Amino acid sequence: MDVQQLKLPLDDGAVRRLRAGDLVALTGEIVISAGLPTYRRLQAELAKGIDPPLDLRGGSLLHLGSQGRETGSGYELLYMNPTTSTRFNDQMPDLIRGLGLRITGGKGGLNTEAARAMKETGCVYLSFLGGGCTLLSESIREVTGVYWTELVSHYRLVRVRVENLGPLTVGIDSEGNSLYESLVEQARERLPQIMSALPDRTPEMHGRH
């Protein structure tokens, strides 16, 4: 399957043309954080009408941890690594709706409530390769902003310019179609067949008593 090259930021039409299962690569600015306290803070401040420290509307918020360091010329990002998105299930529906996100993503998908918010607003979830830190970090070109610097590095909001970040899989599209839900359904459908094919070990187990 061909990898679609996406230039950020994406408009509504570009997002809604993506389908679950598509492969994409991103070029442009993304915003990342792996900290649950960070997502809770964003949600709480949003509820109070407090704007985030950077403009996320129409942009991205990706579940990627990072490690950086101050240099003479600014802030250098040493690596990016995906974290499990289900940790943020309680926050993402509010953030998707309230911030008007076009892209989110990480590992493992999001729940049906988040998928519902994505369908309402026009947002996609991108699945990152677990353990793909080295590959993903090769796409880093420049850090363009670091926010909430009182937090540890992984928890900060970091805006970074990337080039050819990917390949990434559209795990949930803007129609709410989810590869994760499809896999669960397929597993449920196949379970009776799998169980029937297993040898019946009941007599053997009884014989041990």
Q: Domain 3-207 adopts which CATH fold?
A: fumarase (3.20.130)
**Strands 103-106, 124-127: pairing kind:** parallel
Place of tokens 């953030």: 95
pLDDT of residue 185: 47
Nearest-5° Cα angle at 50, 46 to 56: 65
Q: Contact, 186 vs 45, CB < 8 A?
A: no
User: Which among 135, 93, 95, 133 has a CA at the least distance from the CA of 117?
Assistant: 93
| Residues 78-106 pLDDT 10s | 999 999 999 999 999 999 999 999 999 99
Whether the model clears a pTM of 0.75, i.e. scores above it, the answer is yes
> pLDDT 10s per residue in the chain (209 long)?
799 999 999 999 999 999 999 999 999 999 999 999 999 999 999 999 999 999 999 999 999 999 999 998 889 999 999 999 999 999 999 999 999 999 999 999 999 999 999 999 999 999 998 888 888 999 999 999 999 999 999 999 999 999 999 999 999 999 999 998 744 444 444 445 545 567 765 555 555 55
Element (H, E) at 145: strand 140-147
